[in-house]
């Protein structure tokens, strides 16, 4: 079961990139740029081909083995990564910046590859898709990918 890509059955799965290595200790659910040979942490919505770092579903999940929970375990620098190429209306669990978010809130990419509330002139990449909630830094939340635009 994939824990980052959230759309249900009958919906085609997004394309994944699996032939690149990560350039640092990157957490699943964060935004990355796809380079020629590597996945690098994104800190803005522009500057490269944006993707969402997937989890390693071959790791044990949850339970007592939190040290190997695929959603809590960062990739090691140089390790092969899995990145999703999102399309509008795809739903993902993505890492968020600490804040209170509301359903449908416009999001952009911020520090550490986390999604953050979009301000005027920011490029909107997704919408928050859960009930209003105070989210801790790095917490995963469901978002729906947008057809990117600049917020007026």
pTM of structure:
0.90
Q: Which residues contact 10 (CB under 8 A, 6 or more apart)?
A: none
Which pLDDT tens digits describe the chain residue by residue (152 residues)?
Answer: 458 888 666 667 789 999 999 999 999 999 999 999 999 999 999 999 999 999 876 555 555 444 556 777 899 999 999 999 999 999 999 999 999 999 999 999 999 999 999 999 999 999 999 999 999 999 999 999 999 999 99
DSSP codes of every residue in 24-52: S-PPTTSEEEE-SSEEEE-SSS-SSEEEE
**DSSP element (H, E) containing 18:** strand 16-22
Decide: 36 and 89 in contact? Cβ < 8 Å. Answer: no
């Amino acid at each position: 079961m994939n824990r980052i890509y959230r759309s249900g059955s009958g919906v085609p799965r997004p394309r994944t990139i699996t032939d690149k290595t990560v350039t640092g200790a990157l957490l699943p659910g964060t935004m990355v740029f796809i380079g020629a040979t590597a996945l690098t942490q994104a800190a803005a919505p522009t500057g490269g081909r944006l993707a969402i770092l997937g989890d390693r579903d071959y790791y044990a999940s949850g339970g007592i083995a939190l040290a190997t929970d695929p959603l809590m375990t960062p990739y090691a620098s140089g390790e092969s990564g899995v990145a999703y190429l999102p399309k509008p209306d795809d739903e993902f669990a993505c890492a968020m910046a600490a804040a209170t978010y509301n359903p449908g809130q416009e999001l952009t990419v911020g520090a550490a590859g986390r999604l953050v509330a979009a301000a005027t002139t920011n490029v909107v990449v997704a919408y928050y898709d859960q009930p209003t909630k105070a989210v801790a830094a790095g917490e995963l939340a469901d978002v729906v990918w947008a057809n990117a635009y600049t917020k007026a």
